[in-house]
Amino acid sequence: TQLLEQSPQFLSIQEGENLTVYCNSSSVFSSLQWYRQEPGEGPVLLVTVVTGGEVKKLKRLTFQFGDARKDSSLHITAAQPGDTGLYLCAGGDAGGTSYGKLTFGQGTILTVHP
């Protein structure tokens, strides 16, 4: 069974601060997705990273896939109240009969105070 550990589980910061969310596993993933979920809604895909060491930027968000494809990070620069939400990482199975199955981390609840 593949597991993804997200940390921290809760993050409460002031507007303008920087933050990093981590997603770690002992398993190798074929690729890694990050989702953002707002209260009362379903998750929405932010980014997919597929190559070890890959870095993708989405405005103030920077996503990195570890060289060994076992971990990932999400860094937010100058956080804004609109960034508040639940952030989920999800890894794709690297092979076997369940190729393509998503394994989700527990999520990080981010609150950005004005």
Residues that bind other proteins (CB under 8 A): 4, 6, 9, 30-31, 33, 40-45, 48, 50, 88, 90, 92-93, 99-102, 104-107
Contacts of 40 (CB under 8 A, 6+ apart): none
Judged by beta carbon, residue 95 or residue 114, the one nearer other proteins is 95
* DSSP H or E stretch at residue 31: strand 29-37
> Given the complex with other proteins, which of 42 and 82 has the nearer CB atom?
42
How far apart are CB 44 and other proteins at their closest, in Å?
7
Separation CA 3–CA 26 (nearest Å): 8
CB of 9 to other proteins, least distance (A): 7
Residue from 61, 57, 16, 18 nearest 36 by CA: 61
CA 24 to chain centre: 10
Structural tokens at position 1: 């069974």
Residue closer to other proteins (CB basis): 43 or 66: 43
Least spacing, CB of residue 14 vs other proteins, in Å: 25
Handedness of CA 76, 43, 66, 59 (dihedral sign): negative
Tell me how far, at minimum, the Cβ of 57 lies from other proteins, in Å: 18
37 or 84: CB nearest other proteins = 37
